[in-house]
Amino acid sequence: MRVMAQVAMVMNLDKCLGCHTCSVTCKQTWTNRDGVEYAWFNNVETRPGLGYPRGHEDQERWRGGWELDGRGRLRLRSGGRLRRLAHLFANPDLPTLDDYYEPATYDFDTLVTAPADESRIPVARPRSALTGEPMAVTAGPNWDDDLAGSPVHAAADPVLAAMTEQVRLSFEDTFMFHLPRICEHCLNPACVSACPSSAMYKRVEDGIVLVDQDACRGWRMCVSACPYKKVYLNHRTGKAEKCTFCFPRIEAGLPTVCAETCVGRLRYLGLLLYDADRVAEAAAVPAPADLLDAQRSLLLDPSDPEVVAAARRSGIAEDWIDAARRSPVWDLIARYQVALPLHPEYRTLPMVWYVPPLSPVLDATGARGGDDADADDVFHTITGLRIPMEYLAGLFTAGDTDRVAGVLLRLAAMRAHMRRRSVDGSADPALLERVGMSAEDVEAMYRLLAVAKAADRHVVPAAHTERAAELASWASGCSLDGPGGPGMSPTASRGGVVPLTLRRRRPR
C-alpha cells in the first residue's frame, strides 16, 4: 500500500442556482487575457443540454478517456503512440472554434463618440475578439442556459441520445438542473498519458494536474485525450492551459476561487488519502458499472491506524493526515456515500464528485398527487420515475440506476427525518433502517449538506515549504498574468530560478 494525498471537490447539485458566479470569478482570475478568450476553466451547464464545448460527452466523436483492449488492458481511446505520432501535425479529434464559440467584443467607441442625435440611437455592434471583424453572436459558453426543455438543445445531448425514444421525447416534462464543471484532476488522467512532451503532469504532493508551460510544445494531444474537454489551447502562445485547482491558494490553505465565491455554498473541498498502487487495477475493472465501487475502494480511511502509519511512511505530514480525517469530501464520498463521480466509464478516476439533485424528485412527487414530506411517497416516486433516473445514471454511475436511486433515497430519508425531528422531535427507526443509516449519521450529514460553515466545507491544509510566506503572497494573485502562464515568467525565460510552486514535479 502506497499512500498518497489528493485534493478533491464535491458539489451538491441541489444547491446550484445556475448564477455562473463561479465561472465569472474563475474567468477573471485565470483566463481574462488574450489567447484564451474562449476558455472557461469553470463553466455551469444546464442539463439536459449540449454542454461546453458542444457535445463534449460524445466519445465516439472525440475519442477521449480510456478503454480496454481485447486483453483487458487500459489504452487511450485516442490511440497508441503510433497513431498519435501519425497525427502529430493534423489531429482529427480536436474540437473546432464552432464547438466552443467565437468570442466577441463590442464597438463601444461608437457609443462614446456618436453625435447627439435623437433620431438615431447608437449601437455597439459585436466584433470578433480574434479577428476584429464584425460578426453575429450565435453561440456562447452557456448558450443553452435554462433551456433544458428545448427540443433544439436537449435533443442533441449525448447522454439523452443513448436512451430510449420514449425517454428522450418526454424528458422535458421531468426536470432540469445545473451542472458546474471544472477539470477533474483525475487519478488516472488521460491528458497526462497522451502528452508527447511530458508537459502535462500530476503533482505528487496533492494530485493537482498542471501544465509545464516551458515543456509544452502545443501538440494538443491532451485536448483530444481529455474526455471532459477541460484542456484548452492558448492560440497566442500555442500552449495548453487548464484549470489549476487554484494551486497557489491551495498551497496557502485557502479554497479555490470558485468555491470561495459560490453563492449557493455547494462546493466542498478536502483531502483524500488513496492507495496509489491500485489505481491502474481500479481503472481496468471490466464492467463499467463496477467502476464506482473500484474507485471508492482506492480511498483509504484516514482514521485507520494502518493507513495513518502508511501515510507517515510516505512522508505525509501530521496536519495533512488530520485534515484528511476532517475532510468533508471523505464524508460525502465514503462515509455517507451520497457523492458520485462524473462519467466513471471514462476510466480516468475523476476527483470532482457530485451529490445528485433531489429537488426535481420532490417536484415530481407533488405532481403525482403525493406528499413530498412523506418518505413513502418520495421513495415510490424515486423508484417509479425511471426517466430522470436513467439520465442521472448516465452521468454518474455508468448507467446503474440502482446506485443513483440509493443515493436519492438516502437524501430523501435525511429530509424526512429532519422534518420529523423539527415538527415533534420524534424519529422513525424503520425509515433509517431502510437506508442503512443511524440517526447520528443522518443528522451529521444534514449539518454538512445544509448548514455547514465555510470552515467545515473547506478543509484545506497549507503546503509544507520553507517558502510559506511566498506561497501566501501568491494566494492574493493566482492568475496566469505572465506571458504564457507558469514557467514563462521573465525570470524563467532568462534561465533564472523558477518559483518553487511552479516547478514541474516528476510525472507519475
Task: Please choose, from the candidates 181, 190, 183, 508, the residue with its C-alpha nearest in 3D space to the C-alpha of residue 348.
Answer: 190
Q: Name every residue whose Cβ is closer than 8 Å to that of residue 19 and which is 6 or more positions away in sequence.
A: 44, 263, 264
pLDDT, tens digit, 9 for 90 and up, residues 52-92: 999 999 999 999 999 999 899 999 998 888 887 887 787 87
Task: Tell me if 68 sits within 8 A of 287, measured CB to CB.
Answer: no
Residue 483: pLDDT band (50, 70, 90) is very low
Residue at grid coordinates 503512440: 81
**What is the identity of the amino acid at 465?**
T
- Residues in the chain, overall count: 508
**What is the amino acid identity at position 291?**
L
Does the structure show a pLDDT above 70 at 279? yes
DSSP state of 381: H
> Omega of the bond prior to 53 within 30 degrees of 0, cis?
yes
Q: Please check the confidence at residue 476 and state whether its pLDDT lies above 60.
A: no
User: Is residue 123 assigned to a domain?
Assistant: no
Q: With 60 as the cut, is the pLDDT of residue 296 above it?
A: yes
Domain ranges, residue 193: 1-101+139-355+438-508
Please, are residues 380 and 405 in contact by the beta-carbon 8 Å criterion? Answer: no
Q: How far apart are CA 191 and CA 65, in angstroms?
A: 8
In the structure, what pLDDT confidence band is assigned to residue 397 with cuts at 50, 70 and 90?
very high
- Residue position matching grid coordinates 465501487: 293
The pairing of strands 239-242 and 352-355 is: unpaired
pLDDT of 147 higher than 90: no
d(CA 251, CA 253): 5
CB 504 within 8 A of CB 201: yes
The predicted structure's pLDDT at residue 109: 84
Distances (CA, A) of 413 to 95, 270, 285, 372, 452: 43, 25, 32, 11, 19
Q: What is the pLDDT of residues 223-254, one digit of tens each?
A: 999 999 999 999 999 999 999 999 999 999 99
Look at residue 369 in the predicted model and tell me its pLDDT. 65
Report d(CA 291, CA 279) in Å as an integer: 11
What whole-number distance in Å separates Cα of residue 300 and Cα of residue 307? Answer: 7
C-alpha–C-alpha distance, residues 253 and 271, integer Å: 11
**Quick check: is 345 in a domain?**
yes
CA atoms within a 13 Å half-sphere pointing along the CA-CB vector of 296:
20
d(CA 502, CA 500): 5
244 belongs to a structural domain: yes
Averaged pLDDT, 11-29: 95
How many C-beta atoms surround the C-beta of residue 302 within 10 A? 24
* pLDDT tens column, 309-322: 999 999 999 999 99
Number of domains in the chain: 1
Q: Span 9-31, mean pLDDT?
A: 95
The pLDDT of residue 21: 97
| Rounded CA Rg of the chain | 24
The answer to whether residue 306 scores a pLDDT higher than 80 is yes
Domain annotation covers residue 376: no
Helices (H), 171-274: 190-194, 221-225, 247-251, 257-261
- Whichever domain contains 183, its CATH number is 3.30.70.20
Q: Do the domain assignments include residue 388?
A: no
Residue that wins the pLDDT comparison between 188 and 124: 188
CA dihedral for 19, 23, 29, 35, sign (positive or negative): negative
Residue 387 lies in a domain: no
Sequence letter at residue 42: N
Is a pLDDT exceeding 80 seen at residue 378? no
pLDDT band for position 265 (50/70/90)?
very high
Asked whether residue 143 is assigned to any structural domain, the reply reads yes
Phi, psi of 242 (to 5 degrees): -160, 175
Distance, CA of 497 to chain centre: 33
Give the C-alpha distances (Å, rounded to integers) separating 496 from 191, 467, 481, 499: 29, 17, 18, 9
The mean pLDDT of the chain is 84
- Provide, rounded to the nearest whole percent, the portion of the chain with pLDDT above 90: 59
339 within 8 A of 406, measured Cβ to Cβ: no
First CA to last CA distance, the chain: 16
| DSSP secondary structure letter of residue 287 | S
Model pLDDT, residue 257: 97
How far, in Å, CA of 181 to CA of 40, rounded? Answer: 10
Place of cell 486483453: 71
107 inside domain: no
Instruction: For residues 101 and 229, give the distance between their C-alpha atoms in angstroms, rounded to a whole number.
Output: 14
Q: Please give the pLDDT value at position 390.
A: 83
